[in-house]
Structure 1
């Protein structure tokens, strides 16, 4: 084990409840024709991706796991290292694959796909966060 930056991990995990609340509130009032809702949804998903990949990278660095070569690889390394269960692999990879379209191809996004992910986001983040905290408790 190397140096695990617990402060950075905790800071990022502390942001998860805000993302969860925002996604739940947005889903309750969703209006695909409202640009504010569309942009809020994109930002919520983008922040969720950044939190997951930032924490994943910090865990990989801190616990000397093999280097990840992509966002999808971060998820796969953490599955292999048993940070979270394999049932999270598919939804997490689906989520992180949205990063490029959100950041680079925003003019041509499939908003229905984004809405489907947004409706699952809060439960996915809660399970992911609990898994990360359990892993850190066991390893530290």
Structure 2
């Protein structure tokens, strides 16, 4: 193990509750989504993607894990290292697959209703943060 950038990892993990709160608020919305709701949903999903992949990259660098070939591979590497559960892995993989459509193909993004990840993503993000913290604590020893 080399240097674990706890400061940068903590900044991102400590921001996840803000994203989780926004996602839960959007998920609770009963009536149809306005354009502003769609944009808020897209931004919350994008922030979640960036936080998860940033944390993953910092961990891969710190623990000298193999180099990832894609954003999805960042999650695969952490899964191989047993950082989190299979359930979290599958939810986060579905999330990260949205990066390209959200960032590069945003003009084609279908803005119809709530995204299917709104239901499961908040819990997965909380589990991700807890799992990362547990892994870092365990690896200190």
State the TM-score bracket (shorter-chain normalisation): over 0.9
**Deviation at residue 112 of structure 1 after TM alignment:** 5.4
- Could you list the structure 1 runs, at least 4 aligned residues long, displaced by more than 3 angstroms after superposition: 30-33, 110-114
1:8-35 CA-partner distances (Å, limit 9, x unpaired) = 0011101011001111111122554401
Residue 120 of structure 2 aligns to a residue whose secondary structure is helix
User: With structure 2 as the length reference, what TM-score do the two structures score?
Assistant: 0.92
Unmatched 5+ stretches in structure 2: none
Match of 1:122 in 2: 122
- Whether 1:59 aligns to 2:31 is no
Kindly indicate whether the alpha-carbon contact (under 8 Å) linking 1:16 and 1:125 is maintained by their aligned counterparts in 2. Answer: yes
- Whether 1:40 aligns to 2:46 is no
Q: Which has the higher helix share?
A: 1
Match of 1:7 in 2: 7
| Counterpart Cα distance in 1 of 2:32 and 2:50 | 24
| Counterpart Cα distance in 1 of 2:20 and 2:91 | 16
Match of 1:85 in 2: 85
Residue 84 of structure 1 aligns to a residue whose secondary structure is coil
